[in-house]
């Protein structure tokens, strides 16, 4: 028996397929997920699409539905 695929987040649910496949710069995708662009490249390199010699892009859908980054990517714990 097959399981149901997980529901899409509400932020993706209202987007058309054309809008979901639009490509955004790496820096914008990293900012959307509150991580540094280098961390994004390290952990999610499989989502990057090279558009030019130096330009890296990510689809809007991939940028929105990412799982949270590993705890080590968020930096050292805050001293209290």
> Is 74 inside any structural domain?
no
Residue with tokens 């390290």: 42
Q: pLDDT (tens digit, 9 = 90+) per residue, 12-27?
A: 667 888 888 899 999 9
Position 9 in a domain:
no
Asked, for residue 50, whether it belongs to a domain, the answer is yes
- Domain assignment present for residue 55? The answer is yes
Owner of token pair 């859908």: 61
Domain that holds residue 25: 18-68
- Which residues fall within 8 angstroms of residue 52, CB to CB, at 6 or more apart? none
Whole-model pTM: value is 0.68
* Residue 2 belongs to a domain: no
Q: How is residue 77 written in tokens? A: 């714990």
Half-sphere exposure of 35 (CA within 13 A, CB side): 23
Q: What is the pLDDT of residues 20-51, one digit of tens each?
A: 889 999 999 999 888 899 999 999 999 999 99
Count of domains for the chain: 1
Q: Is residue 45 domain-resident?
A: yes
């Amino acid at each position: 028996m097959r399981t149901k695929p997980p529901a899409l987040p509400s932020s993706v649910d209202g987007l058309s397929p054309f809008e979901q496949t639009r490509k955004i710069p790496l820096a914008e995708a990293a900012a959307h997920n509150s991580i540094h662009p280098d961390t994004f490249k390290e952990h999610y390199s499989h989502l990057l699409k090279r558009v030019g010699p130096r330009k890296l892009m990510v689809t809007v859908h991939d940028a929105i539905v990412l799982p949270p980054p590993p705890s080590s990517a968020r930096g050292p714990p805050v001293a209290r």
